[in-house]
Amino acid sequence: MKRRAFIQTSALASAAMLLPKFLKGHEQNADIKSNKILVVIQLTGGNDGLNTVVPYENSLYYNARPTIAIPKNQVHKLNDELGLHPDMKGIKNLFDNGQVCVINNVGYPEPDRSHFRSMDIWHTASNSNEYKHSGWLGRYLDDKCKSCDLPTQLLEIDDTLSLALKGEKLNGLALKDVKRLYNTTTSPFIHQLSTQYLAANHEHENATYLYKTLAETVSSADYLYKTSKIFHNATTYPNHEFGKSMKTISEFIISGINTSVYYVSLGSFDTHFNQPKRQSDLLKQLSETVEIFMKDMQQYGKLNDVLLMTFSEFGRRVQENASSGTDHGTANQLFLFGNNFKKNGIYNAAPNLSDLDDGDLKFTVDFKNVYATILKKWLQVDEQKILGKSYAYLDFIG
């Protein structure tokens, strides 16, 4: 490498270090036509589904959990056998409004109990015996954004980008604070480097790539910041990280930013010991924030265009452990929040605690069927191209 190219590349690499861990795809003209928006909430760490949607009439549940089971008189009853954790009053309110669909026993064949591997399986929509390097939402972007103006159709509210949003050709964007990102990219140093892209005599492909990435990052930050300034949300959200992230998503949606999918995480739900307090805190954060968010969407006329989905990489074992906690399990429930359900409430049968697989719940719904349904019926794309094969649709939406 010539000296000039080396200096340019080193400067650009240093500039990139000054930015947040902001991963992105390539700028092109917008292809995504649907006005529907998906918000994915990842419950990181393996949330205990049995203490979330509680089988309060099942003696097997209480026998398996003598110290951590939720007492029957504390649950928010959803039907004659299932109820929500006592700290999920907000979601109970949404349930009563017909804005919740609970899908029980979601998982996949030959489950893996490793956090990392199971999360990869969910992120990539792969089978447990195959390995993919692109995520299901990243491949959605590949398919629907061959010529997008800005790579902002997929946004993760975080410092780093999850595998789920990394495509084979394009990636989503990850950011936590759009104002901080904008201020960073408008510094004189960054501005000078980014404006050199067109004029520079690139002598090395690494320098060309870094210039292009930096210029695209600057233009994306500019678009997000200026568009998000259209609307400032006066609604008070909870003062925790998840609440702040959901408020950011709300402002982006109401501002009209061209994002189709938002992604955010809450956790860790890895409750091997002293589960009751930790899980209660997290479920309260989830419930109170989602209720406020849904009210925001209704107030600003966006409720019919937004679908929320929660998932966790696995559930927990049915039997509690010796540390007032639960260990890694398999199947779990999945929550959907929206206003367009063909079938809301409790979608399918409760977990069968008398028919376990070595102490774990048996899955009855493959999560890829959920993905296929959302891709086809909500985001209006060819789900077979994205998932690699055909999966039967579920009928929670039309």
Residue 1 pLDDT: 45
Residue 12 pLDDT: 44
What's the rounded mean pLDDT across residues 345-365?
98
Q: Where are the domains of the chain?
A: 3-387
Residue 81: other Cβ atoms inside 10 A: 14
Calculate the average pLDDT of the chain: 87
Residues 28-76 pLDDT 10s: 334 555 689 999 999 999 999 999 999 999 999 999 999 999 999 999 9
Burial 284-297 (b: 16+ CB within 10 A, else e): bbbbbbbbbbbbbb
Tell me the pLDDT band of 186, cut-offs 50, 70 and 90. Answer: low
Tell me the pLDDT band of 79, cut-offs 50, 70 and 90. Answer: very high
**Cα(374)–Cα(394) distance, rounded to whole angstroms?**
9
Residues 250-287 pLDDT 10s: 999 999 999 999 999 999 999 999 999 999 999 999 99
Which has the higher per-residue pLDDT, 159 or 11? 159
Residue 192, Cβ density class (10 Å: 0-12 exposed, 13-18 middle, ≥19 buried)? exposed
Q: What's the one-letter identity of residue 260?
A: S
Examine residue 228 and say whether the peptide bond preceding it is cis (omega within 30 degrees of 0).
no
Residues 289-299 pLDDT 10s: 999 999 999 99
Residues 386-398 pLDDT 10s: 999 999 999 999 8
Which DSSP symbol is given to 100? E
Q: Tell me the torsion sign for CA atoms 57, 59, 63, 64.
A: negative
| Strand locations in the chain (E) | 37-44, 53-54, 76-77, 83-84, 100-107, 154-157, 173-175, 261-267, 306-311, 332-337, 345-346, 365-366
What's the rounded mean pLDDT across residues 376-383?
97
User: Which CATH code for domain 3-387?
Assistant: 3.40.720
| pLDDT of 21 over the 70 cut | no
Residues 97-143 pLDDT 10s: 999 999 999 999 999 999 999 999 999 999 999 999 999 999 999 99
What's the rounded mean pLDDT across residues 147-155?
79
Q: What's the one-letter identity of residue 214?
A: L
What's the rounded mean pLDDT across residues 334-342?
97
Rounded to the nearest 10°, the torsion over CA 336, 340, 344, 348 is -70
CA distances for 227 relative to 230, 248, 284, angstroms: 6, 13, 31
Residue 232 pLDDT: 76
User: Kindly report the CA angle at 378 between 381 and 296, in degrees rounded to 5?
Assistant: 140
Interacting residues of 59 by C-beta distance below 8 A, sequence separation 6+: none
